[in-house]
Structure 1
Amino acid sequence: MNEFSKIFIIIGIVFLLFGIIGAFIGKLPGDLIFKKGNTTFYFPVMTSIVVSIILSLIFYIVSRLK
């Protein structure tokens, strides 16, 4: 398998993981929601931390494969 194929497989896996994360991780405890009148501000603190950890693991595994 050449390098181009491996890159597409890795990109596909990353998109698949983003889809799974998006389906199961929506509004975690620790995400900040401010509502005032008709305005809502949503700041996903915990979701950002979880996604960051998962992406760090993915990039660590990908770098070890090379």
Structure 2
Amino acid sequence: MSRLLITFGIILIAVGLLWPFIQKLGLGRLPGDLAFGGENFRVYIPITTSILISLALTFILWLINR
């Protein structure tokens, strides 16, 4: 369990450090990502981005388990 948590933490740190580069690729502003709000608030629901990240992680983990 501790190895899993450490691995997850390292992945989160890597994503955090790479986030400026990820935004340049357009992730977070894809068609299907919902963003709406009023004058004093904003709601953002990244549906398409979440699906793409899920597919990529599923593929990577599938490759690792083979």
Answer whether TM exceeds 0.5 for this pair: yes
Report the RMSD for the aligned CA atoms in angstroms: 2.7
Q: Deviation at 1:28?
A: 0.5
Pair 1:63 & 2:65 matched: yes
Q: Deviation at 1:36?
A: 1.1
Unaligned runs of 5+ in 1: 1-7
Return the index of the structure with the highest Cα Rg.
1
* Amino acid of the structure 1 residue aligned with 2:43: F
Pair 1:34 & 2:33 matched: no
Q: Deviation at 1:57?
A: 0.3
Unaligned runs of 5+ in 2: 1-6
Other-structure match for 2:53 = 51
How many residue pairs align between the two structures?
A: 52
Q: TM-score, normalised by structure 2?
A: 0.62
Q: TM-score, normalised by structure 1?
A: 0.62
Which runs of structure 1 show a deviation greater than 2 angstroms over 4 or more consecutive aligned residues? 18-23
Q: Deviation at 1:19?
A: 3.1
* Greater relative CO, 1 or 2 (CA 8 Å, sep 6+): 1
Q: Percent identity?
A: 35
